[in-house]
Chains A and B, each alone.
Chain A
Amino acid sequence: MARKKHKDQHKEQRDALTLVFVGHVDHGKSTILGRLLAETNSLHDGVLERVRQTCDGKNIPFEYAYLLDALQEEQDQGITIDITTLRFATAKRDYTIIDAPGHKQFLKNMVSGASRADAAVLVIDAEEGVREQTMKHAYLLHLLGIPAVNVAVNKMDLVNYDAERFKELEHAITSYLSKLGINLLRCIPVSGKEGANITARSAKLAWFSGPTLLAAIDELPSPTPLTTRPLRIPVQDIYKFDEHRVVAGRVEAGTLRAGDAVIFLPSGEQTIVRRLLAWPHAPVASARAGEPVTLELADEFLLRRGEVIVHPGQEPSISTTLTATLFWMGRDDLVQGKEYTLKLATEAVTCRIAAIHSITDSTTLERDVKRSVVKKHEVARVTIKANHPFCFDSFKDSPTTGRFVIVDDGIVAGGGIIERGAQELQSRPFVVTKAGLAPKRHLVTREERAKRYGHEGMVLWVTGLPGSGKGEIARRLERLLFDKKKNAYYLDAATVRLSLSSDLDFSEEARHEQARRVAEVANTLLHAGLIVIVNIVSPYRADREAARSLIGSRQFTEIFIDTPPERCMKRDPHGAYTRKGTVLPGRDFTYEKGTKALHVPIPPKPDYDVLAETILRNLGLD
C-alpha cells in the first residue's frame, strides 16, 4: 500500500537497522547494551532511577544489565531469560536492538529475537574466551541468514586490557566464523563494566587502532531489499466484505504492478491483477517486497490460502520433496517418519522427515550420521516429504519463501532453510518450470480450437482399484463421446507403462512418478483440444490432487469407480492379483479416496454401457 503523496510529507526518511546481541551466557551482552543506551542518552530518567533503587535495595553497584533484564526472575538470577527490544539512534540511522539470552535453556528465545535482525553483534568474554553458546549462536546466525556480524570481546578489564589475549581470541573466532561462511566485519575489544571503547575510546586500549563498538555498528551494511527478485505473493486470505472478492497477502519478494499477468501456483490458474486496493486512498500502481496488498483479479476461480502468486516464466519449485538444514528447538526429539506440519509463508502442509542425512555438532562442526532422531538444539540436514505438492524456493534465491518452520503438537519446534528440491528423479514428481523454458504462446488459441471442435478440452480421470472395471467404463466413454461428434481420446496408463514409463516399477515412489507422467500427457492432449479419458489406478490422493493442480480444476474431473476389493480380486481380468511380488492397493495398502471425485458405485452385475451413459449425463456431456 504505497502512499506516495503521503510519504512526501514525511520529511525524515531515516535509515533503520535491526541489530541483535548474542553470545554465551554471562559474557555481558546486557551490560554492554545498558552502557550503550546510557552513553547515547537513550534512556528515560525513570528507568535509570528505578535500576539505581533496585541495586541499592540489593546492596550492589549499579548494574547496567538491569536496564534490559526487567523480569524479576532475570534480576534475581542475573541472566536474560527472554528477548528485550530497545531503540536508540545515532546521527546515521535508527536502531532497533534485540538483546537475546545466552543461556542454553533459552536458545529458542535467542532464535526468536535473531530471526528479526538485519545484523548481529556477537559478544565474547575476554577471560573465558569462545564457549559453547558462542559457537552455537554464531552457527544459528549463519542458519538464519544474517549476513553481517561484528564481534565484541568484552570484559577486557579482567585481562588487564591485554593486546595479546585479544589477538588470540580474534584469531579463534575469525577462523570459526570463516568455516561457516560468515563474514566477520569487525572484532573490537571493549569493557561494558568500565565503559571502555563502547561509545568512546579508552586510554587502556590505546594499542587498538580500530573503531569503537558504536562506530562499528554504524558501519554495518543496510539490508538489501528483495524488490528486484522474482515476484512471490503467498495468498494469506480471501475477503468479500464488499461487492468484489479480494485477495489479501504480502509481497515477499519482487514487485507487482496493476495490470500484470500472474499465475497462482500450484493450481496454475492464470489471471490479471486488475487493481491494488489501498484504503482509504485510491488504488495504487504497484507494491514492492515487504508491503501488504489487497488485490482485485480479472477472473473468478477457486482461491486457496497458501497458493503463491508469481509472474509467468519465474515459477518457484513445486514439489512434495525438499532438502533443508533444520535447527530443532522442540521439547521432544525430531523423529524420522513421524508426521509434522510444515509452515512456509502462508502454506501449511502435513509432512514427514523422509531422511536425516547428517547431524552437525555446532561447536565442532563435526557431522554425525548414525541417528534417526534429532535432539533439542541440534542442527540436521534432512529431506522432507509433504503429503501434497507446494511452492518453495531455495533460501539463496528467495530467502522469504526459502525458509519454513516445523510445528509439533501445535507449537513451532524447528526452523529450516531450503537447499533445493530433491534431485532424484522419482522423488521430484511435480517440478514445473526451469528458467529459460518458459512456454511460448501458440498462434492458435484455446478459444479457436474450442470453436472448431465444438467443445473445450477436458480430462476425465477415471480411477479405482485394479479389476474395478474402470477400463471397461473408460473405453465406453471414448466410444460414446466420439459418436456424439466429440474429439475424445482414451489414454490407458498401462500402455504408458510400456513406453514412456518403461523405467518404472510398482513401488510407491514409482507410482507417484507414473501418475505425474500420465497427468503431463493428459495435459498436453487437453491443450490440443481433446476430451481425454484417463484410465489409471492412482491410489494416492496427493497424486490426483497434483494432477488436478497441473490440469486446472475447471478442466479436470475425477471419476472414482467404486468396486469392493473382494470383487476386484475375484474378477482380476488382467491377472494382477495372481502375479507374485506385486504390491496392490485394496489388498496390500489402502486406496486413498478423494473427496472431490464423482463417485460411481458398481453393482454386483454391472451394465457398463448404462454406467457410462449415466456418467456422461452427470457431467452434462450427453
Chain B
Amino acid sequence: MDRLDRLEAESIYALREAYRHFTSLAMLWSMGKDSTVMLWLAKKAFNGHVPFPVVHIDTSFKFPEMYAFRDRLAKAWGLNLLIGRNEAALKKGVSYATHDALTVCHELKTVALQQFMKEKQFAGLILAIRADEEGSRSKERVFSKRNADFEWDYTDQPPELWDQFNTDVKKGEHVRIHPILHWTEVDVWEYVKRENIPCVPLYFAKNGKRYRSLGCQPITHPIRSDADTVDKIIAELRATKTAEREGRGQDKEDRYALQKLRAKGYM
C-alpha cells in the first residue's frame, strides 16, 4: 500500500466506525476540496452511498461558484443536503462590512452550527479538518468530544490508540469525527487526481490567480498562480513555501486566533 492507500484506508475505517456508533450522525460540507474528498471517501466506505445528512453551514457570503457546485453535486450524488444559517444574526446585519472577521466567523459559523446542532441533536458530526492546516488542528484526535457548550478541552484529551475511538457521549455532548485528520494538502490533491473527484473551479488558475483555500468571499484572497490543472496544482504545492491558509482573513487577527475560535466550537 502506498501513502494514499494507507490514508484512504484509515479514513474509511473512521467513517465506518462513526456510522456504526452514532445513529444521529451528520457530515459538514463546505464544498471545499477537503470536505468534497471526504464525501467521496464516504461513498467508498458505504458502497456508493452517503448514508447520513450532509450539512452546509451557510454564512451567505460564499462565492457564487461554491453555491452552484453545492447544488449540482447534491443532485448528482443524491445527497440529503441540510443547510444551517444563523438567520437572527443575518437579519441584524452581521457582515464583513460592519464587523471584524472573528466576530462574523463566530456568529455565522460557530453560532450557526450550535443552533443547528441544538435543533437536530446530532451526537456525531464529521468534519474535514486536517492536522497540517494549523497548530491547534494538529493537536486533534480522530474522534474528539465537545461538551454541551461546544467547548473542546484540548488540555486533557483521552488517549486514542490502535483505532479504538472514544465514542461515548452524554446528552447534549457530541463527538467530532475527523476522518482526514492525517492528510496533507498535497495528499488531498493527489487523491483528487487519482480518483478524479470534482472540485469548485475557483481552485484552478484564471488570469494568473487561483484560490488555494476557500472561505467567505470578502475575506478570502487568491494567490498568484498559473496552475490551471490538478497536476500543476500538485507541482505548485510541492515547490511552495507559503502556508495554505495565508489567504484566510480570520487567522490573522491574533496569533492564537484559530485556537480560540476552535476551543469555542469552530470547525
Find residues 72-92 in chain A having any chain B CB closer than 8 Å to their own CB. Answer: 72-73, 81-87
* A291, B3: Cβ atoms closer than 8 Å: no
Q: Which of B39-47, B201-209, B216-224 contacts A (4 or more CB under 8 A)?
A: B39-47
A411 located at the interface, meaning its Cβ lies under 8 Å from any Cβ of chain B in the complex: yes
B170 to chain A, nearest CB (A): 8
- Distance, CA A16 to CA B5, complexed state (A): 11
Contacts of A305 in B (CB 8 A): 20
Contacts of A47 in B (CB 8 A): 243
A410 located at the interface, meaning its Cβ lies under 8 Å from any Cβ of chain B in the complex: yes
* A71, B161: Cβ atoms closer than 8 Å: no
B229 located at the interface, meaning its Cβ lies under 8 Å from any Cβ of chain A in the complex: no
Find residues 92-107 in chain A having any chain B CB closer than 8 Å to their own CB. Answer: 94, 96
* A86, B255: Cβ atoms closer than 8 Å: no
Contacts of B244 in A (CB 8 A): 44
Given A16-B6, A46-B243; A96-B12 close (CB under 8 Å): no
Contacts of B255 in A (CB 8 A): 50, 53-54, 72
* A71, B168: Cβ atoms closer than 8 Å: no
* B132, A108: Cβ atoms closer than 8 Å: no
Given A53-B255, A82-B157, A412-B159; A9-B48 close (CB under 8 Å): no
- Distance, CA A87 to CA B46, complexed state (A): 30
* B168, A70: Cβ atoms closer than 8 Å: no
Q: Which of B3, B13, B139 is within 8 Å of A71, CB to CB? A: B139
A70 to chain B, nearest CB (A): 2
* A415, B19: Cβ atoms closer than 8 Å: no
Tally of A-B Cβ pairs under 8 angstroms:
159
Contacts of B17 in A (CB 8 A): 236
Bitwise interface map of A from 260 to 290 toward B, beta carbon under 8 Å scored 1, else 0: 0000000000000000010110000000101
- Distance, CA A1 to CA B158, complexed state (A): 32
A424 located at the interface, meaning its Cβ lies under 8 Å from any Cβ of chain B in the complex: no
* A405, B161: Cβ atoms closer than 8 Å: yes
Contacts of B194 in A (CB 8 A): 6, 9-10
Q: Which of A46, A71, A96, A280 is within 8 Å of B259, CB to CB? A: A71
Contacts of B146 in A (CB 8 A): none
Bitwise interface map of B from 1 to 30 toward A, beta carbon under 8 Å scored 1, else 0: 111111011001100110110000000000
A373 to chain B, nearest CB (A): 20
Contacts of B160 in A (CB 8 A): 112, 412
Q: Which of B5, B47, B136, B243 is within 8 Å of A277, CB to CB? A: B47
Closest B residue, CB atoms, query A83: B139
A112 to chain B, nearest CB (A): 5
Contacts of A108 in B (CB 8 A): 157-159
Given A46-B243, A46-B246; A70-B45 close (CB under 8 Å): no
Contacts of B8 in A (CB 8 A): 1, 292
Q: Which of A22-30, A241-249, A315-323 contacts B (4 or more CB under 8 A)?
A: A241-249
B242 located at the interface, meaning its Cβ lies under 8 Å from any Cβ of chain A in the complex: yes
B182 located at the interface, meaning its Cβ lies under 8 Å from any Cβ of chain A in the complex: yes
- Distance, CA A112 to CA B4, complexed state (A): 22
* A71, B154: Cβ atoms closer than 8 Å: yes
* A10, B132: Cβ atoms closer than 8 Å: no
Q: Which of A86, A248, A290 is within 8 Å of B6, CB to CB? A: A290
* B132, A86: Cβ atoms closer than 8 Å: yes
Closest A residue, CB atoms, query B134: A70
Contacts of A53 in B (CB 8 A): 255
Q: Which of A82, A246, A291 is within 8 Å of B47, CB to CB? A: A246
Closest B residue, CB atoms, query A6: B194
- Distance, CA A290 to CA B11, complexed state (A): 12
- Distance, CA A279 to CA B194, complexed state (A): 14
- Distance, CA A115 to CA B46, complexed state (A): 27
- Distance, CA A400 to CA B9, complexed state (A): 15
A391 located at the interface, meaning its Cβ lies under 8 Å from any Cβ of chain B in the complex: no
Given contacts A405-B162, A405-B164, 9 further A-B contacts (CB under 8 A): A71-B154, A108-B157, A112-B159, A236-B13, A241-B46, A290-B1, A291-B9, A292-B12, A329-B159
CB<8 Å pairs between A and B, sample of 12 = A41-B241, A71-B259, A86-B132, A108-B159, A111-B161, A112-B160, A236-B13, A279-B47, A288-B1, A290-B1, A290-B9, A343-B164
The 9 closest A-B pairs by CB, nearest first: A70-B135, A410-B168, A115-B161, A46-B243, A108-B159, A44-B243, A82-B139, A405-B164, A279-B48
